[in-house]
Amino acid sequence: MAKRTLLSASMVLLLLLNNTNIAFAEPNSSETQVIQDNKVKYEQLDEDTLELDTEIAKLNIEIEGLNSKLDENNSEIQDTENEITTINHKIEEAKLEIEDKQKTIDGRVRSMYKSNMATDMIVYLITSENIFDMLDRVQTMSKIISVDKEMILEVNEKRESLDKNANEIQKKQDNLLQLKKSIETNLNEVNNKKETQQKLLDELNSRKDEIMAIIEVNEENLVSYPLSIINSDSSSISEIQNAINTLQYMLPQLNSNYVIDLVNAAIDSGNYIISLSESNQATSNSVENSSGYLSTYSMIATAYTGHGITAMGLKPVRDPNGLSTVAIDPSVIPLGSKVYVEGYGYAIASDTGGAIKGNKIDVYMNSNEECFAFGRRTVTVNVIAYPGQW
């Protein structure tokens, strides 16, 4: 059986009947088809909405991850920029140091050139007092040459090291900037996808709101009779008590918050009226008596379970001590009727099914196990009240 959904606009008109003079037109096949179409439509909207919600949730996680990566990347870029600034300072300091050492080396070279140091060095060695003095002078000259050589080597190595570090850090920054650009591109794509999905979700929710408006009208019409009993000055205490019982049984099946608030307010009002009554008349807590049925049918009964909403837009429920949900053929029993099903209990005829035609009824259960236990059987179905009579 198809899952539960809403009552079509044509079936809404069926519920807008006079409370005292009731004439029921049997829905034709096109009206029944509209009900089935609306059920499928609402269930599809629910599925589509759930899928979009799931997709948007995934996109939000992806966006959060990309934003986190972008933050990390920006932080690393900032650290790299700070590192580049530090290296640039070191390069400037090294340049000054290199310039100083270069000036020292250049000065020595010029001095050697001007003073003909090669000749001076020979003279310096020849004028040694003895062999030991000459060796000392050779060692001294070697140290001077070695120091100059080391100074030149150090300057060159430092320059090469700084150039290498500068190139590496610049390359690192270029890679980070490229990564940032890639992340921002991915982030824009995901945000655009989310925006598209959100628009679709908004459209679905708008359509669901339109359907919920019909559901609200259906539910308001469904509870209008017991509300009128409670609000009427001419109602007896037993009538008010029965109306309260009826509303309490209906509450679990309602979807509209507005109607739920109306029902709760009416129940409170009815209980207040009863509490103020000085009548000693015993109030009846039973929903209906066992006689005075409007019509009686012998029907083939099966059971179903599942979630969603019924053809009237109500929540399907199984309440052995209250009002349960049954699916009927609207051309046999009008939607919104109150019935008593043998072996099942009191119920609202608020649902339909593709296989429920003629004298067939489908009773709602809370689990597959209960459905199997109920099986297929012949039952007596008594119509207690038609829409607008209870």
Task: Please tell me the predicted confidence (pLDDT) of residue 208.
Answer: 73
Q: Is the domain of 303 the same as that of 354?
A: yes
pLDDT (0 to 100) of residue 1: 44
pLDDT of residue 14: 34
388/314 same-domain check: yes
Task: Specify whether 267 is located in the same domain as 179.
Answer: no
Per-residue tokens: 204: 């679905």
Nearest-angstrom CA–CA distance, 152 and 157: 9
Structure tokens at 108: 């020595």
Q: Biggest alpha carbon distance in the chain?
A: 150
In a domain, 16, yes or no: no
Each of the 390 residues of the chain gets a pLDDT tens digit; together they read 433 333 333 333 333 333 333 333 333 445 445 545 655 666 677 777 778 778 778 878 888 887 887 788 788 778 877 877 887 787 777 778 777 777 776 676 566 555 555 555 566 556 666 666 666 666 666 666 666 677 777 777 777 777 787 788 788 778 878 877 887 887 788 788 878 878 877 887 787 777 777 778 878 888 889 999 998 888 888 899 999 998 988 888 888 888 898 899 899 888 888 887 744 444 344 444 445 788 999 999 999 998 778 888 888 999 998 899 999 998 899 988 999 999 999 999 999 988 899 899 999 999 999 999 999 999 999 999 888 787
DSSP notation for 314-374:
PPP---TTS-EEEE--TTTS-TTEEEEETTTEEEEEEE--TT--SSEEEEE-SSHHHHHHH
Determine, yes or no, domain membership for 302: yes
CATH of the domain at 388: 2.40.40.10
- pTM beyond 0.75, yes or no: no
Tally of domains in the chain: 3
pLDDT at 26: 38
For the chain, first and last CA: distance in Å? 28
Residues 264 and 300 in one domain: no
Catalogue the long-range contacts made by 168-175 (C-beta closer than 8 Å, 24 or more residues apart). 169/80, 169/83, 169/84, 169/87, 170/84, 172/80, 173/77, 173/80, 173/81, 173/84
Claim to verify: residue 265 and residue 312 sit in the same structural domain = no
Full domain range(s) for residue 306: 288-390
Establish if 36 belongs to a structural domain: no
Q: According to the model, what pLDDT value does residue 22 have?
A: 31
Instruction: Name the residue with tokens 């198809």.
Output: 2
DSSP string, 37-60: HHHHHHHHHHHHHHHHHHHHHHHH
Same domain, yes or no, for 104 and 184? yes
Q: Element (H or E) spanning 240, and its range? A: helix 237-250
Task: Report the CATH number that the domain containing residue 75 is assigned in CATH.
Answer: 1.10.287
**CA–CA separation, 37 and 43 (whole Å):** 10
Helix axes 257-276, 237-250, angle to 10 degrees: 150
- Spatial distance between the Cα atoms of 175 and 167, rounded to a whole number of angstroms: 12
pLDDT of residue 111: 61
Using alpha carbons only, give the angle 108, 110, 113 rounded to the nearest 5 degrees.
110
Residue 17 in any domain: the answer is no
